[in-house]
Amino acid sequence: MSLAARYLEQHGIPTVVMGCGKDIVEHCAVPRFLYSDFPLGNPVGKPHDPASQAFTLELALRVLETAPGPMTTVQSPLRWDDTGDWKLDFNNIARMPAEEIARRREEFAEQKRIAQAKRAADLNAAAS
């Protein structure tokens, strides 16, 4: 997304990237970046929370209008929770219940089976 934003900017289309991976997005040198200190995959607000999503969109539009220069980062004032404990729990295998680990492993194994079957079908089709 960051590289697409840079390309669009080079062709006269202003952009704002909304994201949760601050180090990654800033490394790509996007022109304008709205950073939300939320778990990855939630850059536009909390799931099922239209108020936080609307606020984030409005803030992104303000960043688009008012960024003082290139490579501007603005951090959203919204917080995922009051404690920040989600950062300790987010994909931390040491804090996951055994059932969740087993579920994720099975999900991963199923995705591998699907990919292997698709690859085999593609190879067979190519050989025919």
Instruction: Answer for the pair 68, 29: CB distance below 8 angstroms, yes or no.
Output: no
Half-sphere exposure of 7 (CA within 13 A, CB side): 4
H helix and E strand count, the chain: 5, 3
pLDDT digits (tens, 9 = 90+) for 75-92: 999 999 888 888 887 778
Q: What is the pLDDT of residue 2?
A: 86
Domain ranges of the chain: 2-81, 96-128
Name the band, by pLDDT with cuts 50, 70 and 90, for residue 122: very high
Amino acid (1-letter code) at residue 1: M
Instruction: Answer for the pair 30, 2: CB distance below 8 angstroms, yes or no.
Output: yes
Q: What is the pLDDT of residue 34?
A: 96
Q: What is the pLDDT of residue 11?
A: 93
Paired with 103 in beta bridges are: none
